[in-house]
Chains A and B, each alone.
Chain A
Amino acid sequence: MTSATTDGPAPAGHREAPRRGRASGGDLRAGLLFLAAGAALNAALAAAGLWSDFAWPAIGASFVLLVLACERIGRLVPVKGRAAYERTLALGFPLLVLVLWELAADSGFINPTWFPPPSRIGAALWDLSTRYDRFSGTTLLGRPWLMPEAFSKEGWAGIWALVAESHVFATVARVLVGFVLGAIPGVLLGVVMGLNQTVRLMLDTTLSAIYVLPKIAIFPIVMLMFADPFGEAPKILVVGLSVFILMAINTMAAVRGIDRVYLMAGRNYGARGWSMLRHVILPGALPVIFSGLRMALGTAMIVIISVEFVRAKQGVGYMTFYYWEVLNPEKMYAGLVVVMILGVLLTYALQWLQRRLMPWQK
């Protein structure tokens, strides 16, 4: 019926416009239809009293319908609004999950004692950030609001006293020191292994074997290697060791993956030894090294949090485990949230470094 109008002897420009209009109208209708279908499905199940019996299939189906709806609606977004649309999708979905979690906990559908709603976790996080724990003499962030006064009274020593009581500082410091102390020699060994077959053959198997060991399992041995087994050194070392092994393996692969023709070009134009390393091998391996660093950062976080679970008097991992032991799930979850935030922030920092060091990659 409608096709009769478009097939008619209208000028080409006129034929395009209604067709596009029809298609986009179709997308909008289909999108809304998918949303309505999702709502209807859940409502029908709830009305029949069957929702909780079929919770997982219902959630799965709702998710699929939501994806279909978003795809259709996404087609309507003009090119200019594309970035905003993508951001909305990336942030909106986690937000939706949080809202649903909140509703589910409030309605008693999930047990709010063990799965406290996000609002209560948020409140716990605020509480942790603003309160000084007299019992352990620690805070989460180091009470930044006291810092100006402390600085005017005692100078840097005053600031340091506040920072030193912070869980976040303890964890971040251990991760960063361990990361740097592990990554630099790891990359250097990886370069040697990538270039020299003998070294590679001698060490490759050993490194692969140590790589798969859970670092928490060798932590007791690491502790024994130090005069003060409960101090910072063993914690930093075990982080450094994990990063070292991973970076050695990763950098070896990175160096071996450099196209041979770049090495030949470097040699032919006079690069030798250090200049070869500086101008050809390191930049050639850098993209792969950075993806390795990103993994190593994740590993470092995992290792330090698990070490802090068992052996620490300070740190985000210690704090998280402590609140679990005293049966305060809200604060335990708040601790986990802090771990995630730290992971995201450190990854951003690494990406910033990557952009600085590799300007040739967009």
Chain B
Amino acid sequence: MTASLPAAAPKIAARSVSKHYPTADGTMVALEDFSLDVADGEFVCIVGPSGCGKSTFLRMVAGLESISLGSIDIRPGSERGKPLNSVVFQEYAIFPWKTLIENVAFGPQMRGVGRAERLDTARYWLDRVGLGKFADYYPHQISGGMKQRVSIIRALANDPEVLLMDEPLGALDAQTRVVIQEELLRIWEETRKTVLYITHSLDEAVLLGDRVILMSAQPGRRLATFRIELPRPRSIAMTNSPRFAEYRAQIWEQLSAEVTRAMEARP
């Protein structure tokens, strides 16, 4: 009885979260009364119009931004010393002054993992995404797609309780995007981490997510939830299936209405 309780409790619990930014002409409400539970091992995607507060919410979950109202909790796992969350930032944010391998080993290094062990972990992940040859390169020497891969495996190498990804593939061209989506799918099937994933792409949201949360334009509220019941393991090929198209159309209908509403509301 007591053992089954924590399993049912959500991994991430966000309760009535609001974010207010004080500005010169009054308070700016970036996010309003937003609640979300993410189960252990669940992959949740958030989509919504630009500027609706997705990044703000993610940073609040990560504890990088103060919460104006409400509460956010991440339930710690049984393993001690494991980091609660790791963020893949919208702007890559890999350190230009560290080589790729040092970047990937950064999280373990900060947790005091020994040099040999953390470099082994980093090398494993670099090899995994085909960057083994570039271990000792600096970020300015590699392409945008490679940087984004480094940013993703920096989070994976940190082995956190939950992964927080903010449009990790947003800046990539279509082909690179598809390649990394496949990689992400494979890695996720293996690790089954709890993931909160922000994206602009409905295809990506439907392909990756167990659930897709649609947010309203500013101030960000929760508008709709879509449960994606495509079978796992998934692959890029599924994007051509009729069910996939159906999900995408459903979400698009609501999202486009919201985007239009937001544009018309603007003075």
Contacts and interface: CB of A to CB of B under 8 A. Distances in A.
What DSSP secondary structure best describes chain A's contact surface?
helix
A271 B97 contact: no
B154 A269 contact: yes
Contacts of B53: none
B158 interface: yes
Interface in B70-117: 83, 85-87, 89, 91, 93-99, 106-107, 110-111
**Centre residue among B87, B89, B98, B110 by max chain A CB count within 10 A:** B110
A286 interface: yes
B107 A261 contact: no
A264 interface: yes
B96 A264 contact: no
Interface stretch (A20-28, A89-97, A276-284): A276-284
Given A268-B64, A279-B106, A262 B95 contact: yes
Contact of B95 (A265, A268, A359): A265
A270 interface: yes
B51 to A, nearest CB: 17
Contacts of A265: 87, 89, 93-95
Interface residues of A, number: 20
Given A262-B93, A265-B87, A270-B83, A360 B107 contact: no
A286 B97 contact: yes
What DSSP secondary structure best describes chain B's contact surface?
loop
A353 to B, nearest CB: 16
Interface in A244-267: 259, 261-262, 264-265, 267
Nearest to B139: A360
Given A265-B89, A268-B86, A269-B158, A360 B106 contact: no
Contacts of A362: 140
A269 B106 contact: yes
Given A268-B87, A269-B154, A270-B83, A283 B97 contact: yes
A303 B7 CA distance: 70
B124 interface: no
A225 to B, nearest CB: 40
Given A269-B154, A360-B138, A284 B91 contact: no
Contacts of B83: 269-270
B14 to A, nearest CB: 18
Contacts of B211: none
B86 to A, nearest CB: 7
A264 B110 contact: no
A275 B110 contact: yes
B207 interface: no
B215 interface: no
B93 A270 contact: no
Contacts, number: 58
Contacts of B86: 268-269
Interface residues of B, number: 26
B96 to A, nearest CB: 6
A284 B97 CA distance: 7
A358 interface: yes
B152 interface: no
Contacts of A261: 89, 91, 93
B111 to A, nearest CB: 6
B62 interface: yes
B59 interface: yes
Contacts of A269: 83, 86, 106-107, 110, 154, 158
A270 B97 contact: no
A356 to B, nearest CB: 13
Contacts of A359: 138
A179 B138 CA distance: 31
Contacts of B110: 269-271, 275, 279
A283 B99 CA distance: 13
Interface of A: 259, 261-262, 264-265, 267-271, 275, 279-280, 283-284, 286, 358-360, 362
27 contacts: A261-B89, A261-B91, A264-B59, A264-B64, A264-B87, A264-B89, A265-B89, A265-B93, A265-B94, A265-B95, A267-B64, A268-B62, A268-B63, A268-B64, A269-B106, A269-B107, A270-B83, A271-B110, A279-B95, A280-B95, A283-B95, A284-B95, A284-B97, A286-B97, A360-B98, A360-B99, A360-B138
The 6 closest A-B pairs by CB, nearest first: A270-B110, A283-B97, A265-B93, A360-B138, A269-B107, A261-B93
